[in-house]
Chain A
Amino acid sequence: MEKIKTYQELTETHDKVKSLLDPRILLDRYQGKKREILVCGDTGCQASDSQKIVTRLNELILANNLEDTVSAKITGCFGFCEKGPIVKVFPDDVFYTQVTPEDADAIVENHIINNRVIQRLLFVHPETNQRIVPEKEIPFYQKQKRVALRNCGLIDPDNIYEYIANDGYMALGKVLNDMQSQDVINEIKAAGLRGRGGGGFPTGLKWEGALKNESDEKFIICNADEGDPGAFMDRSIMEGDPHSVLEAMTIAGYAIQSNKGYIYIRAEYPSCIARLKKAITQGEEIGFLGDNILGSGFDFTIELKYGAGAFICGEETALIHSIEGRRGEPTTKPPFPSDSGLWGKPTCVNNVETYANVCPIINKGADWYAGIGTETSKGTKVFALAGQINNTGLVEVPMGITLQEIVYDIGGGIQDNRRFKAVQTGGPSGGCITRANLETPIDYDSLAAIGSMMGSGGMIVLSEKDCIVNIAKFYLEFTVEESCGKCTPCRVGNKRLLEILEKITQGRGTMEDIETLKTLSEIIKDTSLCGLGQTTPNPVLSTLKYFEDEYITHVRDRKCPAGVCQKLITYEIVAEKCKGCTACSRLCPVGCISGAVKEAHVIDQELCIKCGVCFDKCKFTAIIRN
């Protein structure tokens, strides 16, 4: 790798490598001969053996002497993880889903050699039942706009030149060459970028605060702790496009006049860590990190720091303590990190996705960015769609889109055509959005107004199958386990909330308990030391606000309408309807269903663990849940 020492050299390199991406960007306008097969190598698809697909593809390419006409490589998440592993063939623009390593043979033989698109690997439109060839025609992609995820599914994250080809490091070059610290900050301010880590604090203002604090040392921190369970936006960005984070951190360093950055990344993301390590080494070798970057006189280095499994370390003061080698206990703000952060020095903490938005703003201008989104929330937001939804995965949408569009147009509606119940956003700090609010535009302020929050981007879709009290209990369990235990309201108060929810889900609740939930929640929010305790009663309050009747049913009727709370349900076989097919008894994990073939079966209630497998599997609806 040759060192790039000046802005001039950078633009030259950029011009030189630009064509690398032609097959992927120009598509049918691309005149070259060579095809490219991109395979998703992100954690989700990796878990379904996507690595083996690439290995197999490369074996076949070699075996068939196709090196000159086709290459296969790993790329980042395409977003449509539900249908992973995803394989995309360029420039043909063919989007294959649920590919197995065995399918590699077919792809090479049929598609590459014989130019026949493999129909069975194409996505089937759920309504028209038609097979769809190009990605852009899949409904999942139609309302999306990729800014933060611009390189995921497009470039090989391990190849810095592919990153440069898509304008990578051009923003850094521009900043170091043409702009002062304050200019950078003004640009970010004008773009209206707000923190994507959950708080939504204006990024430009945060940087400005840190710039104004004189100090011999300042720090840039990238918060890659991504603690919200069920959310994986940051992971995908770092895994699919690590350089975009490094570049933006360096720009931030320049903006606040810091020479040292840390990425605090959770230990649960091993492949992410590997990618980042590699990217940092590349950055250092090529000269985008280190001393005198692009001849500007500006020095910046980045070091990885690992989390060790504590949600609270996503909170910035706790994160800082963790980097310092201490227990991740938050401290009161003020002082804010931009005044006194790591080792007592001014420190800017920003989220991964926040950083991922920085370079496009510099490259394309604040006006372009501010043109996306709503009045108070600019740009796009990445969401991790999960739960009872058809198309789980990663979506990036312009702010202001409605939930209706995300759930139905992009997400393809609820699994098994069940009834939509709610979407939980903001993870353990957030709340529910219900059917009534499906038309609410998604932005920081509208979500806050209806008692939820943007959060970091986890979106869990709930259906009639989900018990709302149980969901609230789930989040409280999480909170209680993840609380640092420092302050009373959170340490004891949340535990008491959880105990009350447990009572209710076990059919021992009282109407006073519901009142206590409300009053105690408010006080916990009002008195807790950090953002965790200040928001964790939200799931309780917001479910109570929209689904109080469901709580009351648990309390008054001792019933769980969704059939989830184990203490409140029993499964029984209706003898008349049972055909004696034995499906249930074979599947029951505890083997508590007995009965001879073609005779009515019975469930031993003592042993039944209420897993519901039999209920789901009986084709004759002979099993009822009470």
Chain B
Amino acid sequence: MELLDPAKQKRVFPDEMYEKLNGFVDDLDIDPADPRKKGNLIQVLRKGQQIFGYLPRELQEYVAVRLGIHHAEVSGVVSFYNFFTTTPKGEFTISVCMGTACYVNGADKILSQFERILGIKSGEVTEDRKFSIDSLRCVGACSLAPVVTINDKVYGRVAPQDVEKIIEDCLVQEEA
């Protein structure tokens, strides 16, 4: 029988990061007695993910304390939204659009090609933390389907045979 085991996590992030987030929360000027204070949660989590790169448990607990809400609630929200991640992403976040327009133009093949070449599955990150793969739903550039975004760059009309080249581009870019 498989048992649920606590996954121990240590606090690993430097104080500066917390200070940044703290400043952001301070600026929101949240009244602890205001029943609507929770309305800031998603905003704070976005900021947290921006600063920390992801939302590990230590950060979620911190946000819970700062906003005066239960950790479970924060965790429930984090796990609900695709945008939030509790594992670190790669230096290059490859997002393959799996929206309808891209899908009918073969996005699934692009995705599996990335997975094959990098040896990881969608949602995972390479061991050297260089690449992570995700799928997303429509960036609104459907006329360029299939579309892949890597960090902020949009690649349109990608074909399976282009994938290797795109990855190489990233590596070159990194060296530059």
Direct contact between A and B in the complex (CB less than 8 angstroms)?
Answer: yes
List chain A positions with a Cβ less than 8 A from chain B.
Answer: 43-44, 46-48, 81-82, 84, 226-232, 235-236, 267-270, 305-311, 322-328, 343, 384, 386-388, 392-393, 424, 427, 458, 460, 462, 466, 471, 474-475, 478, 484, 587-590, 609, 611-613
B100 within 8 A of A: yes
Cα–Cα, bound, A460→B107 (Å): 15
Cα–Cα, bound, A474→B101 (Å): 11
A325 near B42: Cβ-Cβ < 8 Å: yes
B77 near A386: Cβ-Cβ < 8 Å: no
How many interface residues does B have (CB within 8 Å)?
51
- Interface with A: B12-20, B136-144, B168-176, which one? B136-144
Q: Which residue of A lies closest to B37 (CB)?
A: A325
Most B CB atoms within 10 A — which of A44, A306, A324? A44
A613: B residues at CB distance < 8 A: 159-161
Residue interface mask B101-118, A partner, CB < 8 A = 1? 111111001001100100
B140 near A474: Cβ-Cβ < 8 Å: no
8 A Cβ contacts from B28-80 to A: 36, 38-43, 45-46, 73, 76-77, 80
A267 and B46 in contact (CB under 8 A), knowing A308-B83, A325-B40, A325-B77?
yes
B161 near A230: Cβ-Cβ < 8 Å: no
Q: Which 5 A-B pairs have the closest CB atoms?
A: A229-B99, A309-B82, A230-B100, A386-B101, A308-B81
Q: Which residue of A lies closest to B153 (CB)?
A: A47
Tell which of A269, A305, A310 touches B82, judged by Cβ atoms closer than 8 Å. Answer: A310
Cα–Cα, bound, A185→B136 (Å): 39
Known: A44-B142, A47-B147, A307-B83. 6 other contacts (CB 8 A): A236-B140, A305-B42, A309-B81, A327-B76, A460-B101, A475-B100
A306 near B143: Cβ-Cβ < 8 Å: no
B141: A residues at CB distance < 8 A: 43-44, 47, 81, 232
A268 near B140: Cβ-Cβ < 8 Å: yes
B104 near A268: Cβ-Cβ < 8 Å: no
Interface residues of B: mostly helix, strand, loop or mixed?
helix
Most A CB atoms within 10 A — which of B40, B46, B139? B139
B161: A residues at CB distance < 8 A: 587-589, 613
Cα–Cα, bound, A84→B113 (Å): 27
Cα–Cα, bound, A535→B77 (Å): 25
Closest Cβ of chain B to A272, distance in Å, is 8
Tell which of B83, B101, B103, B113 touches A589, judged by Cβ atoms closer than 8 Å. Answer: B113
A232 near B109: Cβ-Cβ < 8 Å: no
21 intermolecular pairs with C-beta atoms under 8 Å apart: A43-B154, A48-B144, A227-B137, A229-B98, A229-B100, A229-B138, A231-B138, A232-B140, A232-B141, A232-B142, A236-B140, A268-B138, A310-B82, A324-B38, A326-B38, A386-B100, A392-B101, A424-B100, A589-B116, A609-B113, A613-B159
List chain B positions with a Cβ less than 8 A from chain A.
Answer: 36, 38-43, 45-46, 73, 76-77, 80-84, 97-106, 109, 112-113, 116, 136-145, 147, 152, 154-156, 159-161, 163-164
B36 near A460: Cβ-Cβ < 8 Å: no
A268 and B143 in contact (CB under 8 A), knowing A229-B100, A309-B82, A424-B100?
no
A82: B residues at CB distance < 8 A: 143
B43 near A306: Cβ-Cβ < 8 Å: yes
B137 near A343: Cβ-Cβ < 8 Å: no
B140: A residues at CB distance < 8 A: 43-44, 226, 232, 235-236, 268-269
Closest Cβ of chain A to B144, distance in Å, is 6
A386 near B142: Cβ-Cβ < 8 Å: yes
Closest Cβ of chain B to A349, distance in Å, is 16
Cα–Cα, bound, A232→B154 (Å): 16
A44 near B163: Cβ-Cβ < 8 Å: no
B144 near A47: Cβ-Cβ < 8 Å: yes
Q: Which residue of A lies closest to B162 (CB)?
A: A589
B43 near A460: Cβ-Cβ < 8 Å: no
A458 and B100 in contact (CB under 8 A), knowing A47-B154, A308-B82, A327-B76?
yes
B77 near A326: Cβ-Cβ < 8 Å: yes
Q: Which residue of A lies closest to B149 (CB)?
A: A47
Q: Which residue of B lies closest to A427 (CB)?
A: B100
A588: B residues at CB distance < 8 A: 161
B138: A residues at CB distance < 8 A: 226, 228-232, 268
A227: B residues at CB distance < 8 A: 137
A322 and B42 in contact (CB under 8 A), knowing A232-B138, A424-B100?
yes
B42: A residues at CB distance < 8 A: 305-306, 308, 322, 325
Closest Cβ of chain B to A111, distance in Å, is 25
B144: A residues at CB distance < 8 A: 44, 47-48, 81
Cα–Cα, bound, A232→B156 (Å): 16
Closest Cβ of chain B to A538, distance in Å, is 14
Most B CB atoms within 10 A — which of A81, A308, A484, A611? A308
A235: B residues at CB distance < 8 A: 140
Most A CB atoms within 10 A — which of B41, B100, B103? B100
Cα–Cα, bound, A420→B170 (Å): 39
Closest Cβ of chain B to A315, distance in Å, is 14
B137 near A311: Cβ-Cβ < 8 Å: yes
Closest Cβ of chain A to B116, distance in Å, is 7
B80 near A310: Cβ-Cβ < 8 Å: yes
A328 near B81: Cβ-Cβ < 8 Å: yes
A386: B residues at CB distance < 8 A: 100-101, 104, 142-143, 145
Q: Which residue of B lies closest to A393 (CB)?
A: B143
B112 near A609: Cβ-Cβ < 8 Å: yes
Most B CB atoms within 10 A — which of A323, A324, A462? A324
B43: A residues at CB distance < 8 A: 305-306
Closest Cβ of chain B to A482, distance in Å, is 8
Cα–Cα, bound, A474→B102 (Å): 11
Cα–Cα, bound, A84→B163 (Å): 23
Q: Which residue of A lies closest to B138 (CB)?
A: A229
Closest Cβ of chain B to A209, distance in Å, is 24
Cα–Cα, bound, A308→B48 (Å): 13
Cα–Cα, bound, A324→B144 (Å): 35
Closest Cβ of chain B to A582, distance in Å, is 14
B41 near A325: Cβ-Cβ < 8 Å: yes
Closest Cβ of chain B to A185, distance in Å, is 28
A267: B residues at CB distance < 8 A: 46, 83
Tell which of A43, A310, A587, A611 touches B109, judged by Cβ atoms closer than 8 Å. Answer: A611
Cα–Cα, bound, A599→B31 (Å): 77
Q: Which residue of B lies closest to A82 (CB)?
A: B143
Cα–Cα, bound, A206→B133 (Å): 42
A471 near B104: Cβ-Cβ < 8 Å: yes
